[in-house]
Amino acid sequence: MLLLAIDTSTTAITVGLHDGGSVVADSTTLDARAHAEHLAPNIRAVLTAADAEPGDVTDVVVGIGPGPFTGLRVGIVTGRTFAFALGLPVRGLTSLDAIAHEAWLGGRRGDLLVATDARRKEVYAATYILGDAGACRVSEPIVSRAADLPAEVRALPAAGRGPSLYAEALSEAVDPLDASGGALADLAVRRLRETSSGDGELQHVDPGHGFDGLEPLYLRRPDVSSAPPSKKSTLG
């Protein structure tokens, strides 16, 4: 297999490739405002690094957020378009899960808060328990002012950019700061392995099994909305 993972939910425009055994390439650009400009070059970069062509990819996974409207949409639409063009399965995973998974891969254990920048002086947040078997999410993602999170949650070690933005509210900052394409790819392969056949071989499964669907987690309305209808006179 060759799984392509894409995430644009945070400051990182990030892409990873996983061959079923390990991450074979990843590429990340930090830019909160130019997701569309950087994503395609990053996809090309990981394919080149792995000496692969688009046709070699067998699976696509996208981070579904939560994240700001425009950036998050770029990654999901790109992943779906790439998969559609090649007739591949495409699946979604919560981006906060990828951050918690990377913390787990780095050896962290115990309770963890993931708090990413939601702008408007808010964070996207969820809590996890990191055990020997992996990172388990124990609360649904929310958007909130960091200071309005429960005291016991604010006291947890926190990954993401929230702790550096709101150090007065969140007590302890830990890595990673952003979602990683490599960590997202590794998490996706582990989810696929949970549905592997008896001989241990990975198999294609229903896109929803063990995954989170493809609907983006915006958690609030976009900044831009349609203009109200004009009030033109109908007098003849």
Spatial CA neighbour of 11 closest among 32, 25, 39: 32
Domain boundaries, the chain: 96-173
How far is it, in rounded angstroms, from Cα 79 to Cα 88?
10
DSSP conformation class of 217: -
How far is it, in rounded angstroms, from Cα 86 to Cα 198?
28
Query: Per CATH, which fold does 96-173 belong to?
Result: Nucleotidyltransferase; domain 5 (3.30.420)
Place of tokens 């920048």: 117
Query: Tell me: the pLDDT tens digits for 115-171?
Result: 999 999 999 999 999 999 999 999 999 999 999 999 999 999 999 999 999 999 998
List the beta strands (DSSP E) in the chain. 3-7, 12-18, 23-30, 59-63, 90-93, 110-119, 122-131, 134-137, 142-144, 157-159, 172-173
pLDDT-derived band at 191, boundaries 50, 70, 90: very high
pLDDT-derived band at 194, boundaries 50, 70, 90: confident
